[in-house]
Amino acid sequence: MSMLEVKDLSVYYGVIQALKGISFKVNEGEVIALIGANGAGKTTILHAVSGLLSPKAGSIDFEGHDLIKTPSHKIVSLGMSHVPEGRRVFSQLSVYDNLRLGAFTRKDKYEIEQSLQHVYKRFPRLKERKNQFAGTLSGGEQQMLAMGRALMASPKIILMDEPSMGLSPIMVSEIFDIIKSISTSGTTVLLVEQNAKKALSIADRGYVLETGKIVLEGKASELLDDDTIKKAYLGE
Q: pTM to 2 decimals?
A: 0.90
What 8-state DSSP symbol labels residue 14? T
For position 234, what pLDDT does the model report? 67
For position 58, what pLDDT does the model report? 95
Does the pLDDT value for residue 1 go beyond 80?
no
For position 236, what pLDDT does the model report? 54
For position 76, what pLDDT does the model report? 87
CB 47 within 8 A of CB 84: no
CATH classification at residue 209: 3.40.50.300
Question: What would the mean pLDDT of 180-195 be, rounded to a whole number?
Answer: 92
Question: What would the mean pLDDT of 90-113 be, rounded to a whole number?
Answer: 88
pLDDT tens sequence across 127-161: 999 999 998 998 889 999 999 999 998 899 999 99
Question: What would the mean pLDDT of 17-32 be, rounded to a whole number?
Answer: 95
- From the list 171, 226, 167, 168, the residue with the least C-alpha distance to 35 is 226
- From the list 12, 80, 71, the residue with the least C-alpha distance to 46 is 80
For position 39, what pLDDT does the model report? 81
Count of domains forming the chain: 1
More confident call, 234 vs 24: 24
Does the pLDDT value for residue 110 go beyond 90?
no
For position 61, what pLDDT does the model report? 96
Question: What would the mean pLDDT of 106-131 be, rounded to a whole number?
Answer: 89
Does the pLDDT value for residue 60 go beyond 90?
yes
Question: What would the mean pLDDT of 13-31 be, rounded to a whole number?
Answer: 94
Of 57-61, 118-122, 177-181, highest mean pLDDT: 57-61
For position 148, what pLDDT does the model report? 94
Percent above pLDDT 90 for the chain: 61
Question: What would the mean pLDDT of 74-95 be, rounded to a whole number?
Answer: 88
CB 95 within 8 A of CB 131: yes
Residue 230's contacts (CB-CB under 8 Å, 6 or more residues apart) are: 236
For residue 158, the tally of other CB atoms under 10 A from its CB is: 22
Question: What would the mean pLDDT of 162-187 be, rounded to a whole number?
Answer: 90
What is the domain extent for residue 93? 2-233
Average pLDDT of the chain to the nearest whole number: 90
For position 226, what pLDDT does the model report? 84
CB 92 within 8 A of CB 133: yes
